[in-house]
Chain A
Amino acid sequence: MLDQTEGYTTADGRKIGPVVMEMKNITLRFGGVEAIKDISFDIREGEIRAIIGPNGAGKSSMLNVISGFYVPQEGQVFYQGQPRPPMKPYQVARQGIARTFQNIALFEGMTVLDNVMTGRLTHMHTGLFWQSMWKGKAEAEETVNREVAEKIIDFLEIQAIRKTPVSRLPYGLKKRVELARALAAEPSLLLLDEPMAGMNVEEKEDMSRFILDVNDEFGTTIALIEHDMGVVMDLSDRVVVMDYGKKIGDGTPDEVRGNQAVIDAYLGVAHD
């Protein structure tokens, strides 16, 4: 098994750091439904961690627990070594956690650039008054933020749609814009909710490349939920497998692939 404190080195030579986020015995209920049952796992610095499972396995609920949107009834979330109290989404964002959504939550009427700039909100400190005056510190601040936004636009190769309203873009590009907005926050932990849902093979390949590049270039820790087994196995360092709210597997893609419980969950067996 893996060393608890030091981290490890991946097959392709990347250094994975210590645990940044730890879920301990998380149980989440909605009324009488137990969406997550006593799940524990951790996310290490610099790794790509995937959560997979069939429909209704509780993946999105898990991501919402990580992002602080849901507060579990039982168990504790540790972030950077500290137990995390219930928080508002903006507080989570300030902690350096950014996310994308399964159903795309962009500002449709705004341009791509403006959408990406909204990702910089947590980095803006001047007040409404000075921003509306466009003077002094506010101007300098926007210049810096625009620079960050432009670097991300360049990184994700969306220069050509910089000034295009989001509503005019096709689905695959919207997904990319959403990733851009999340990256603009310069997160230390990036949560991706089904980044490849509804994409064709080519778009999936592009997105996979961007996810790997983000991890490689910015050293961002990435936790992602995905449906598509093939993509996940190629992309992630470690995988958590969920089924019916329970954790049925956890480990490297190879370990998970050989796990009988996982095979059963994906290929199906008779449930008595």
Chain B
Amino acid sequence: MSCVEGLLRQPLRVWEENTLTKTLEGADGLTSIPALLHRNATKFADAPAYREKEFGIWQSWSWSEALEEIEALALGMIDLGVAEGDFVAVIGRNRPRLYWAMMSAQMCGAIPVPLYNDAAAEEMTYTLGHCGAKYVIAGDQEQVDKVMEIQEHLPQFEEMIYLDARGLRKYDHDKLRSYAQVQETGRARRDDLIADMKARIAKLDYDSTAVMLYTSGTTGNPKGVVLSNRNVIETSRTSSEFDHLRQSDDILAYLPMAWVGDFIFSVGQALWTGYCTNCPESPETMMTDLREIGPTYYFAPPRVFETQLTNVMIRMEDASKLKKRMFDHFMAHARKVGPALLDGKPVGFMDRMKYKLGDLLVYAPLKNTLGFTRVRVGYTAGEAIGPEIFDFYRSLGINLKQLYGQTEATVYITAQPDGEVRSDTVGVVCPGVELKINDTGEVYYRSPGVFVEYYKNPESTADTKDAEGWVATGDAGFIEPDTGHLRIIDRAKDVGKMADGSLFAPKYVENKLKFYPNILEAVVFGNGRDECTAFINIDLTAVSNWAERNNIAYASYQELAGHPQVLATIQSHVEETNRSVAEDEMLSGCQVHRFVVLHKELDADDGELTRTRKVRRKKIEEKFHDIITALYDGSTQISTVTEVTYEDGRKGAIKATLEIRTAAVEKVTTRMAAE
């Protein structure tokens, strides 16, 4: 049986009940998002609740102002005919008014459904049709266009409210209304409708639905995860206490609104603690806005941290010799003592002094440039983060931690407490969460955050959640015996066996590969085969910079990806990875024997990645089956044609001849025998 099994039956670290403040269910009537909003509008009336940069200036709204805006919209929506139990889809980039729209929907007794704003129209047909959304609140013309395009497939669709009027003047306003206009009506008819709205809010309890979120779906259609007020509020409360979040905190809301994390950070925790949600001016200005706001609580997927680090390194290459030497010298020192200082471990006096000096000269200015000066709690999740990347940020004194969770758990399953942070685990169980690992190595949890159901999909609900409330994560992992930290190996369904019976965990190898700045994405194959092979995507930012520096000319991504010197570099990365994989007894069979550098970047628009940028293995295997065949039949090159979808939905094709390389592998002596 699986070698993971031996490690499974470990006692769990159980969070002591008394460390939590006991909020009685429904105490203070705080059993819904609108109720929390009312509390904040009284308790923190004049404190900033939302900020958005617009026209070059940060505009802000206090909690009481926000409540007024939200109520006006809610009343306008009631006037429009939004009924209790209706689904209201919200599509757009992060903007305060769209967060308000979700809360307005809740005030009407309706259920907000945030959708991914970069989804193509056909993808939206499924989600909008599945929940039967009668109303859509769209950010701008782009989103309005998409809904208009598919509305004939949406018989239940009634009305759309748009935020940014630009370009919409000539549209048929039969089913279109501006956000401001709806608020206007709401304000004008306040006296007539307020009683109705209050009655609807009063009906909301801990078990009524707060929100429905669609999972990105690595396989098949997205599933609508129904989360109750209990899920959202309980999770927000315990997690806010876990990280000592406070009212004076600031966050930058820039991750997709349809993602559960954004809902919890920008709505759940923001309402529970009353901190301020800041929205960037546009997606392109995110880095500038991050610097200007200087969030105290920050969340980013590993990819963002990687990109930032890559940018820092590229810019340091261009810095003067003195600056570069200073940077190298003090960063080496930071790596030595920074994490220990952050964890409050003892560090010698001289080292402390030197760190202080480094902070003055290097760390503080660097943190300022990155926008991390004020970060008190930083999280990364979603994917594994490279140890070097993780250590880089921590050595600068940024309290970056890891978290493990999923939509079905209302985010939190495990998280790293301050002082127990490591790059290879995802932390200990969150307050209120129970964890178990079954005999196939799959991680199960039970918590107040466990979702209600998958909407209109009782079979999947039953498959995922058992009668006792235990939910399968779909991830294989184990709990470290001495620390109680959870370690995730891979997706349970992706973990397989090689032909000789040894363990195959593609993600484990892919993550190691992706830690190289030159590699953006990797997909490893090998389930049921004799040896592993891999697809690799180069990171255009890093590789093009290298090409420029070395005077290597190229005309396209494809040409750069196929350049012999690039291939040689990638080969050295693969071989280094193989050496490191070989050290792990359990997984030494997963060394990559042959690889190919792909001619196109894997993309969500082509269905190769999910919207949250996770690899869709099946899709890739089908689409590139010819390349996979070539990886295993010993050929040295393969000619292929790939269909691509442009952002506007048009399709095209890329032709390429790819070179297949063979990488050196380490001899494995201690391979676990299959029993």
Give A contacts to B, CB under 8 Å.
12-14, 113, 146-147, 150-151, 153-155, 157, 159-160, 162, 209, 213, 216-217
Contact = CB atoms under 8 A, between A and B. Distances in A.
Interface stretch (B164-172, B361-369, B522-530): B164-172
B170 A160 contact: no
A187 to B, nearest CB: 19
B408 to A, nearest CB: 36
Contacts of A209: 167
Given A160-B282, A160-B288, A155 B166 contact: yes
A153 B56 contact: yes
Contacts of A213: 166-167
A217 B170 contact: no
Contacts of A147: 55
Interface string B150-176: 000000000000000011011000000
Given A147-B55, A151-B55, A162-B56, A157 B282 contact: yes
Contacts of B56: 113, 146, 150, 153, 159, 162
A160 B288 CA distance: 8
Contacts, number: 35
Contact of A154 (B55, B167, B170, B288): B55
B285 A216 contact: no
Nearest to A157: B282
A154 B288 CA distance: 16
Nearest to B169: A216
Contacts of B167: 209, 213, 216-217
A209 B167 CA distance: 9
Contacts of A13: 170
Q: Which of A12, A113, A160, A216 has the most CB of B within 10 A?
A: A160
Contacts of A217: 166-167, 169
Contacts of A153: 55-56
Nearest to B167: A213
A160 B284 contact: yes
Interface string B278-290: 0001101100100
A182 B336 CA distance: 55
Given A159-B56, A160-B288, 9 more contacts: A153-B55, A153-B56, A154-B55, A155-B166, A159-B282, A159-B284, A160-B285, A216-B167, A216-B170
B54 A154 contact: yes
Nearest to B284: A160
Contact of A159 (B166, B169, B170, B285): B285
A111 to B, nearest CB: 12
A160 B170 CA distance: 28
A14 B166 CA distance: 16
A153 B285 CA distance: 13
A221 B281 CA distance: 30
Nearest to A152: B55
Contacts of A12: 170
SS class, residues of chain B in contact with chain A: loop
Interface in B33-74: 54-57
B292 to A, nearest CB: 11
A150 B166 contact: no
Nearest to B164: A154
Nearest to B288: A160
Nearest to A146: B56
A234 to B, nearest CB: 15
Contacts of B169: 216-217
3 closest Cβ contacts across the A-B interface?
A: A160-B284, A150-B55, A150-B56
A146 B284 CA distance: 21
A143 B57 CA distance: 12
A12 B282 CA distance: 31
Nearest to B287: A160
Contacts of A160: 282, 284-285, 288
B483 to A, nearest CB: 44
Q: Which of B54, B55, B167, B288 has the most CB of A within 10 A?
A: B55
6 contacts: A146-B56, A150-B57, A153-B55, A155-B166, A159-B282, A216-B167
Q: Which of B56, B170, B281, B282 has the most CB of A within 10 A?
A: B56
A155 B55 CA distance: 10
Contacts of B285: 159-160
Nearest to A160: B284
A272 B646 CA distance: 48
Contacts of A146: 56
A120 B214 CA distance: 47
A197 to B, nearest CB: 22
A37 B57 CA distance: 52
Contacts of A155: 166
A150 B55 CA distance: 5
Q: Which of A150, A151, A154, A157 has the most CB of B within 10 A?
A: A154
Nearest to A14: B170
Interface string B332-356: 0000000000000000000000000
A13 B172 CA distance: 11
A154 B281 CA distance: 9
Contacts of A150: 55-57
Contacts of A14: 170
A26 B654 CA distance: 52
A218 to B, nearest CB: 11
Contact of B281 (A113, A151, A159, A216): A159
A68 B56 CA distance: 35
Interface in B254-296: 281-282, 284-285, 288
A124 to B, nearest CB: 19
A82 B542 CA distance: 60
Contacts of B55: 147, 150-151, 153-154
A42 B218 CA distance: 59
A202 to B, nearest CB: 9
A12 B172 CA distance: 11
Nearest to B165: A217
B254 to A, nearest CB: 13
A120 B170 CA distance: 29
Contacts of B282: 157, 159-160
A266 to B, nearest CB: 27
A80 B247 CA distance: 60
Contacts of A157: 282
B307 to A, nearest CB: 15
Q: Which of A12, A13, A157, A216 has the most CB of B within 10 A?
A: A216
A209 B141 CA distance: 12
A12 to B, nearest CB: 6
A151 B87 CA distance: 34
B287 to A, nearest CB: 9
A187 B471 CA distance: 63
A83 to B, nearest CB: 35
A135 B57 CA distance: 21
Nearest to B647: A202
